[in-house]
Structure formats: C-alpha cells, structure tokens
Amino acid sequence: MSFTAIILAAGKGSRMKSSLSKPLHKVAGSEMISWVIDAARSAGAETIIPVISDCTPDLASFLSGYSIAIQKNQNGTADAVMAALPHIKNRTQPILVLYADTPFINKDIMCELLDNIKSGSDICVLGFKAENPSGYGRLVTSSTGSLDAIIEDSEASTSQKMITNVNAGIMAFNGSIIEETIQKITPSNSKQEYFLTDIVSVGSKNNLSVDYILTDKEHVIGINNLEQLAIAESVAQNNLRRKAILSGVTMIAPETVFLQKDTIFGQGVIIEPNVVIVGSVSIASNCQIKSFCYFEKCSIGEGNIIGPFARIRPDTVTRQNVKIGNFVEVKKSTLGEGAKVNHLSYIGDTQIGDNANIGAGTITCNYDGYRKYETKIGNGAFIGSNTALVAPVTIGDNAIIGAGSTITQDVPNAGLSLSRSEQTIIPSGAEKVRNKRK
C-alpha cells in the first residue's frame, strides 16, 4: 500500500553525550534513521518526510534529497507531526508516524498498521505487552476492545497500572483526518508541549475509529543513550547472525563474528571465530573465512579461502578459488581466478591475473607520498618471495620474478626478472668473525 511516512528526528539527543546527531549513530554499520527509512521504503512508502530541528546540520546534510520538515520549537511530538503536514501532497493516503531512534521497526509491522487503516480505522497505535509496564503509557481500551486513551504511567490509576499492553509510540492515521484531529490536542504539561499520544483520546471523543495492534518489544526498542545503543547493537548482531546461519552460513563461534546490516552471504560459507565484517561486503558461496579476518566494502568470490589474520580493505574484488593467507592486506585490488597471496604481503591498487602466485613478503609500492599508482600482474605470473613491485609497473603473463627483487620496470610476457646483489662467499669467514668477536 502506498503511504506517507513521517519520521520524527528532532529530539536533542543530549543523553547520547555526542556531537553527532542521535539518528546518525550506527547500529550494525547503518545509521539508526537509515534502518527506519529502509523499512518504510520496503513497506511501500511513496513519500518520506523526516522532521528535524534547525540545529542539526549533519542530519540535514545526511537527509539531503528528502522533503525535510523543520520543527522550530521543541513543543512535543504532536507539534513535530504538525510541522510535517504541509509537506504531504496526498492526504488520501495513510500516514505512518515513525521514530528515528526506533531502528528495528520492520516492513511487516508497518503493513499490519496500514492494513488496519485500510480496513476502516482512523487511528491505529502500535503497542507491546510488557512484563514490567512501569514507566510506559498504558493502552486503555473500551468494553468493545477499541482504544480509548493512552495514559502515562505517572497519571495512571491503580487499576490502569495493572494494564500490561503499553504504547510503543508508532501510529498510523487515515490521512484525511489527521490535521483536524491533531489541532484539537491541548498542551498536557507545564512546558506547554503537545503530545501525539493525546490524539487517541481526542479521536475517541470525536467518534473516530481508534484501534491498536501489538508486536514484540524487540521491534520497538528505543535508543536514547550509549548504553541503549550498545544493547541495540547486540540485538542486531544476534539477529544478523541468526539470519546468516539460517541462509546456509556455518559459524563456529557465532558470538565472536560481527556483521553489518548489508552483509551478503552465499550458501556453504564457513566462518571461523573472531571475524569482523564492516561496510558493504559480499561473500559468495563455499568460501572459508579463517579466524581473525577483517573485511570492509569488498566482494569475495566463490570458493575463496581467506586468512587467518587477513585484512581485506575497500574496493577489493576476488574471483573464484582465490587464496589469501595469513597477515596479508589487500586494498583496492582485483585478484583473478585461482590467484594466491598466501603469506605476509601488501597488495594495493593492483590487478592480479588468473592463477598468479604472489610469494611471501611481496609488497606493491603504490604510493610515493603524493599519488597512488597501479601494479598489473598477468595471468600465471610467479612473484618470488620478498619482492618489492614499485608502481606503476606491469608484470606480463607467465613472467617470473626472482626472490628478493625490487622491480621498477615492466617485465614482458614469460620474462624472467631479478635484481639482487651478487652473493659473496668467504671460506672459513665465520670462524674469523667469531674469533674477532671473542
């Protein structure tokens, strides 16, 4: 169903103790508000209107391209929604009010709220059943089961405090009634703030159809400080690991593997303990990721064996059956099918051909202090151990580079190149050295 999503993101976020706007703090590598935007898009949002304050330029920059509403005065959640209404072009569509600091709301929950509006409700509130409802607004219902009011904990009667169905904050509206109804809300406290929760009692008194649905608490976790952010990260990681395992990924010690919201796996992947994946990473089927590897914004081909202790940096692409071994760092490079970089090497700004073998201790010298330069290594080339390839340089197909070489000139196809000092041997020289030292 097409709808308009209003995302409230104007809170000061002072409890985060950070100069970064609260909605831009990340959970599993994605900004909190990005989680909400992505879920709204997947649910069918035609228009997304973030509501922000005028003192969060970093958030405004991040949201460039959206129809941003500005809440000039922090006068409550109802006032924030009012700031968004002039930006809504189609009032015949449902309107869904979301929160930037509630990242785990998902498509299915949104669609259930919207279906409720489609079925005739004017207002539908999202709630959850709390084991300990203390501190939450209670969902107070009528004898017919409709929602009469949301009563804050501090104002609840003894009997109302026994209610375990509590408010999660998120609401859906019939777009044609929201403005008129929200204008009837009056300030509810000494700060003269207008709370969106009051729209329930206003709607009920004005004979609107007000309903609610319940979800699991995990989906509506709010984040207001760094402790809650850490809890949310733990929840996200557990969910991502479970999703990966159910899709065909074997994790030997799942609690030590850290993923991102956008990580993509093929089937038959095996991940050993202590692996970290950040940024946009895809790992194709039948790969083995050994312990203590780090991946960032890269694409790993089918049948790769990576690690242990490998660091794969941004813009790296590996083809099928590549082997990258212990203490190898690869950055902005492409490794052809069957290529091997097994030990103690740095590969940067490099194109490596199919079935090339890079010996232990090989370094591509890609930076001169001012600019980066590219190294090209052909199909079937063999680079001997402890070689420095000074870019820009091209090593031809099936070429061989002798161990210990520093290569500064191109090597042709099938060429042999080496650069090392002549070896000197002095008979009995070791004995002379030891006698002198004694």
Q: Is 285 part of a structural domain of the chain?
A: yes
Is 335 found in the same domain as 266? Answer: yes
416 DSSP β-pair partners: 400
Which two structure tokens, joined as six digits, stand for 138? 């209670």
Is 272 found in the same domain as 350? Answer: yes
Q: Is 430 part of a structural domain of the chain?
A: no
Sign for the CA dihedral angle at 154, 231, 216, 30 comes to positive
Q: Is 423 part of a structural domain of the chain?
A: no
- pLDDT, position 423: 87
Is 168 found in the same domain as 44? Answer: yes
- pLDDT, position 269: 98
CATH number at residue 181: 3.90.550.10
Query: Would residue 219 show up in a list of annotated catalytic residues for this protein?
Result: no
* Domain boundary pick from 202, 220, 238: 220
Is 187 found in the same domain as 266? Answer: no
Task: Count Cα neighbours of 405 within 13 Å in the Cβ-side half-sphere.
Answer: 20
Domain count, the chain: 2
Is 267 found in the same domain as 203? Answer: no
Which residues of the chain carry a pLDDT beneath 70?
A: 189-190
Is 407 found in the same domain as 305? Answer: yes
CATH number at residue 327: 2.160.10.10
Is 261 found in the same domain as 236? Answer: yes
Q: Which tens digit of pLDDT belongs to each residue from 421-436?
A: 888 999 999 999 999 9
Which two structure tokens, joined as six digits, stand for 183? 């204008």
Q: Is 314 part of a structural domain of the chain?
A: yes
**CA-CA distance, 44 to 1, in Å (whole number)?**
6
Quickly count: other Cβ atoms within 10 Å of residue 147's Cβ: 24
**CA-CA distance, 62 to 100, in Å (whole number)?**
13
Q: Is 428 part of a structural domain of the chain?
A: no
Task: Write down the catalytic residue from 25, 87, 219, 343.
Answer: 343
Q: Is 299 part of a structural domain of the chain?
A: yes
Is 197 found in the same domain as 138? Answer: yes
* Domain boundary pick from 153, 188, 220: 220
Contact 390, 407 (CB under 8 A): yes
* pTM higher than the cut 0.75: yes
Q: Of 81, 75, 78, nearest to 49 (Cα)?
A: 81
Quickly count: other Cβ atoms within 10 Å of residue 39's Cβ: 22
Q: Is 424 part of a structural domain of the chain?
A: no
Between CA 213 and CA 220, with CA 215 as vertex, the angle to 5 degrees is 115
Is 412 found in the same domain as 395? Answer: yes
- pLDDT, position 190: 66
Contact 166, 127 (CB under 8 A): yes
Q: Is 87 part of a structural domain of the chain?
A: yes
Is 146 found in the same domain as 235? Answer: no
Host domain of residue 355: 226-417
Is 151 found in the same domain as 273? Answer: no
* Domain boundary pick from 220, 243, 274: 220
Is 194 found in the same domain as 46? Answer: yes
Q: Of 299, 298, 289, nearest to 324 (Cα)?
A: 289
